[in-house]
Amino acid sequence: MTSTTARLTRKDFASDQDVRWCPGCGDYAILRAVQNTLPELGVPREKIVFISGIGCSSRFPYYMNTYGFHTIHGRAPTIATGLKLTDPELVVFVITGDGDGLSIGGNHLLHVLRRNVNLNILLFNNRIYGLTKGQYSPTSEQGKVTKSTPYGSIDRPLDPIRVALGANATWIARTIDRFVPHMQQMLRRAVAHPGTAFLEIYQNCNIFNDGAFAELTDKRTRSDNVLEVEHGKPLRFGSPEAPKALRLSCLDVEIATCDPETGACADPWIYDATDPRHASLLTALEHPPYPVPIGVLLERQAPEFVASHLAQEREVIERLGPGDLAAMLRGHDTWRVE
Amino acid sequence: MTSTTARLTRKDFASDQDVRWCPGCGDYAILRAVQNTLPELGVPREKIVFISGIGCSSRFPYYMNTYGFHTIHGRAPTIATGLKLTDPELVVFVITGDGDGLSIGGNHLLHVLRRNVNLNILLFNNRIYGLTKGQYSPTSEQGKVTKSTPYGSIDRPLDPIRVALGANATWIARTIDRFVPHMQQMLRRAVAHPGTAFLEIYQNCNIFNDGAFAELTDKRTRSDNVLEVEHGKPLRFGSPEAPKALRLSCLDVEIATCDPETGACADPWIYDATDPRHASLLTALEHPPYPVPIGVLLERQAPEFVASHLAQEREVIERLGPGDLAAMLRGHDTWRVE
Amino acid sequence: MSTPASHEAHVHAHAREPLTVATVRFAGDSGDGMQLTGSQFAHEVAWAGNDLATLPNYPAEIRAPAGTLYGVSSYQIQFGSIPVFTPGDQLDALVAMNPAALKVHLPDLKPGGILIVNRDAFVPRNLQKAGYESNPLDDPTLRERYRLIDIEISTLTHRAVEGLGLSHKEAERCKNFFALGVVSWLFNRPVEPVLAWLGKKFANRPELREANARALKAGLAFADTLELIGPAYDVAPAHLPPGLYRRISGNQALALGLLAAAHRSGLVMLYGSYPITPASDVLHEMARLRNFRVRTFQAEDEIAAVGAAIGAAFGGGIGVCGTSGPGLALKSEAIGLAVMTELPIVVVDVQRGGPSTGLPTRTEQADLLQAMYGRNGECPVVVLAPATPGDCFHMAFEAVRIALEHMTPVLLLTDGYLGNGSEPWRIPELDSLPEIRPPWAEDPETFAPYARDPETLARRWAPAGRPGFEHRIGGLEKQDGTGNVSYDPDNHDHMVRVREEKVRRVAREIPPLEVQGADEGEVLVVGWGSTYGAIHVAVSRAQARGHAVSAVHLRHLNPFPPDLGPLLGRFRRVLVPEINRGQLLRMLRAEFLVDAVGFNRVRGLPLHAAEIEQAIEQLLEPGARTGAGSRADSGQGADA
Amino acid sequence: MSTPASHEAHVHAHAREPLTVATVRFAGDSGDGMQLTGSQFAHEVAWAGNDLATLPNYPAEIRAPAGTLYGVSSYQIQFGSIPVFTPGDQLDALVAMNPAALKVHLPDLKPGGILIVNRDAFVPRNLQKAGYESNPLDDPTLRERYRLIDIEISTLTHRAVEGLGLSHKEAERCKNFFALGVVSWLFNRPVEPVLAWLGKKFANRPELREANARALKAGLAFADTLELIGPAYDVAPAHLPPGLYRRISGNQALALGLLAAAHRSGLVMLYGSYPITPASDVLHEMARLRNFRVRTFQAEDEIAAVGAAIGAAFGGGIGVCGTSGPGLALKSEAIGLAVMTELPIVVVDVQRGGPSTGLPTRTEQADLLQAMYGRNGECPVVVLAPATPGDCFHMAFEAVRIALEHMTPVLLLTDGYLGNGSEPWRIPELDSLPEIRPPWAEDPETFAPYARDPETLARRWAPAGRPGFEHRIGGLEKQDGTGNVSYDPDNHDHMVRVREEKVRRVAREIPPLEVQGADEGEVLVVGWGSTYGAIHVAVSRAQARGHAVSAVHLRHLNPFPPDLGPLLGRFRRVLVPEINRGQLLRMLRAEFLVDAVGFNRVRGLPLHAAEIEQAIEQLLEPGARTGAGSRADSGQGADA
Ligand SMILES: Cc1ncc(C[n+]2csc(CCOP(=O)(O)OP(=O)(O)O)c2C)c(N)n1
Ligand SMILES: Cc1ncc(C[n+]2csc(CCOP(=O)(O)OP(=O)(O)O)c2C)c(N)n1
Ligand code: SF4
Ligand code: SF4
Ligand SMILES: [Mg+2]
Ligand SMILES: [Mg+2]
Please give the pLDDT value at position D60: 75
Residue C296 near chain A (CB below 8 Å): yes
Closest ligand, as measured to the CA of A101: 1
pLDDT single digits (tens) C576-631: 999 999 999 999 999 999 999 999 999 999 999 999 999 999 999 876 654 444 44
How far is it, in rounded angstroms, from Cα B185 to Cα B173? Answer: 11
Interface probe with A: pick from B118, B141, B151, B156, most Cβ of A within 10 Å:
B156
Please give the pLDDT value at position C31: 83
Q: How far apart are the CA of A155 and the centre of ligand 1, in A?
A: 18
How far is it, in rounded angstroms, from Cα D321 to Cα C258? Answer: 40
Can you tell me which atom of ligand 1 is nearest the CA of C357? 25
Can you give the residue ranges of every domain in chain B?
3-212
Please give the pLDDT value at position B175: 98
- Number of helices followed by number of strands (H, E) in chain D: 21, 24
Q: Does the pLDDT of residue D59 top 90, yes or no?
A: no
Report A:294-333 residues touching C (Cβ under 8 A). none
Helices (H), D14-123: 34-47, 99-105
How far is it, in rounded angstroms, from Cα D392 to Cα D413? Answer: 9
pLDDT single digits (tens) C211-252: 999 999 999 988 887 655 577 888 988 888 999 999 999 999
User: To the nearest whole angstrom, how far is the Cα of B206 from the nearest Cα of chain D?
Assistant: 11
User: What is the best residue among A131, A146, A201, A209 to mutate for testing ligand 1's pocket, by most ligand atoms within 8 Å of CB?
Assistant: A131
CB C92 within 8 A of CB C110: yes
Q: How confident is the model at residue A74 (pLDDT cuts 50, 70, 90)?
A: very high
* CATH 3.50.50.60 is the classification of domain D515-639: no
* Phi, then psi, of D419 in degrees rounded to 5: -65, -45
Contacts of C427 in chain B (CB under 8 A): 329-330, 334
CB D496 within 8 A of CB D472: no
Provide CB contacts within 8 A for D621, sequence distance 6+: none
DSSP lists the bridge partners of residue C24 as C77, C93
**Between B16 and D551, the higher pLDDT residue:** D551
Residue A133 near chain C (CB below 8 Å): yes
- Which CATH number applies to B3-212: 3.40.50.620, 3.90.1520.10, 3.40.50.720, 3.40.50.970? 3.40.50.970
User: To the nearest whole angstrom, how far is the Cα of A89 from the nearest Cα of chain D?
Assistant: 8
Can you tell me which atom of ligand 2 is nearest the CA of C333? 1
Q: Which of B115, B154, B278 sits opposite A155 (nearest CB)?
A: B115
The CATH number of the domain covering residues in C4-235: 3.40.920.10
Average pLDDT across chain D, whole number: 92
Among the ranges given (A80-84, C147-151, C368-372, C441-445), the one the predictor scored with the smallest mean pLDDT: C147-151
Task: List all chains that touch chain A, counting a touch as 3 or more CB pairs closer than 8 Å.
Answer: B, C, D
CB C229 within 8 A of CB C186: yes
How far is it, in rounded angstroms, from Cα A48 to Cα A87? Answer: 11
> Measured between alpha carbons, how far is residue C362 from residues A50, A259, C56, C366, C606 in Å?
27, 62, 10, 12, 9
How far is it, in rounded angstroms, from Cα D168 to Cα D174? Answer: 10
Average pLDDT across chain C, whole number: 92
CA nearest to A138 within chain C: C300
* Contact C274 CB / ligand 1 (< 6 Å): yes
Please give the pLDDT value at position C624: 63
Q: Read off the pLDDT of each residue in C153-175 and give the average, rounded to a whole number.
A: 92
Please give the pLDDT value at position D231: 78
Can you give the residue ranges of every domain in chain D?
4-235, 246-432, 515-639
Q: Does the pLDDT of residue C462 top 80, yes or no?
A: yes
Q: Does the pLDDT of residue C1 top 70, yes or no?
A: no
Three-state secondary structure call for residue B29: helix
Percent above pLDDT 70 for chain C: 94
Can you tell me which atom of ligand 3 is nearest the CA of A57? 3
Residue C491 near chain B (CB below 8 Å): no
Interchain contact, B207 vs D64, CB within 8 Å: no
Report C:310-349 residues touching B (Cβ under 8 A). 310-312, 314-317, 319, 333-334, 336-337, 341
DSSP H/E element including A170: none
Interchain contact, D638 vs C330, CB within 8 Å: no
Measuring from atom 2 of ligand 4, which residue has the nearest CA?
B205
pLDDT single digits (tens) A261-313: 888 888 999 999 999 999 999 999 999 999 999 999 999 999 999 999 999 99
The whole-angstrom distance between residue C227's C-alpha and the CA centroid of its chain comes to 40
User: What is the best residue among B100, B203, B209 to mutate for testing ligand 2's pocket, by most ligand atoms within 8 Å of CB?
Assistant: B100
Please give the pLDDT value at position A7: 78
* CATH 3.40.50.970 is the classification of domain C246-432: yes
* Contact C63 CB / ligand 3 (< 6 Å): yes
CB C470 within 8 A of CB C444: no
Q: Does the pLDDT of residue D227 top 80, yes or no?
A: no
Q: Which of A89, A88, A55 is nearest to A72 (CA)?
A: A55
Please give the pLDDT value at position C47: 86
Percent above pLDDT 70 for chain D: 94
Best-predicted range by mean pLDDT (C499-508, D46-55, D186-195):
C499-508
Residue B51 near chain C (CB below 8 Å): yes
Q: What is the pTM of this model?
A: 0.93
Measuring from atom 1 of ligand 4, which residue has the nearest CA?
B130
Q: C611 in the Ramachandran plot: left (φ > 0), alpha (ψ -120 to 50) or beta?
A: alpha
Residue D478 near chain C (CB below 8 Å): no
Q: Which of B64, B85, B111 sits opposite C312 (nearest CB)?
A: B85
Interchain contact, C476 vs D355, CB within 8 Å: no
* Contact A99 CB / ligand 1 (< 6 Å): yes
Q: How far apart are the CA of B132 and the centre of ligand 2, in A?
A: 6
* Contact A293 CB / ligand 1 (< 6 Å): no
Fold equal for C4-235 and C515-639: no
Contacts of C370 in chain D (CB under 8 A): 332, 373-376
Contacts of D629 in chain C (CB under 8 A): 591, 593
Q: Does the pLDDT of residue C502 top 80, yes or no?
A: yes
Interchain contact, C372 vs D374, CB within 8 Å: no
Interchain contact, C65 vs A104, CB within 8 Å: no
Q: Which of D65, D283, D356 sits opposite B148 (nearest CB)?
A: D283
Contacts of C376 in chain D (CB under 8 A): 324-326, 328-329, 351, 354-356, 358, 366-367, 370
Three-state secondary structure call for residue B181: helix
Mean pLDDT by 10 residues, chain B (338 residues): 64 90 95 96 96 98 97 98 98 98 98 98 98 97 97 97 97 97 98 98 97 96 96 94 92 92 90 96 94 98 98 97 95 86
Q: Which of D353, D355, D501 sits opposite C375 (nearest CB)?
A: D355
Interchain contact, C630 vs D372, CB within 8 Å: no
**Between C47 and C264, the higher pLDDT residue:** C264
Task: Count CB pairs under 8 A between chains B and D.
Answer: 75
Q: Does the pLDDT of residue A1 top 70, yes or no?
A: no
CB D12 within 8 A of CB D384: no
Three-state secondary structure call for residue C295: strand
Q: How confident is the model at residue D625 (pLDDT cuts 50, 70, 90)?
A: low
CB B231 within 8 A of CB B271: yes
How far is it, in rounded angstroms, from Cα C281 to Cα C391? Answer: 17
Interchain contact, A51 vs D311, CB within 8 Å: yes
Please give the pLDDT value at position D639: 27
User: What is the best residue among B21, B73, B144, B206 to mutate for testing ligand 2's pocket, by most ligand atoms within 8 Å of CB?
Assistant: B73
pLDDT single digits (tens) D118-165: 999 999 999 999 999 999 999 989 988 999 999 999 999 999 999 999
Reported in sequence order, the residue ranges of B177-276 that DSSP labels E, i.e. its strands, are 197-202, 226-229, 236-238, 243-249, 252-257
Q: Which of B20, B131, B135 sits opposite D65 (nearest CB)?
A: B20
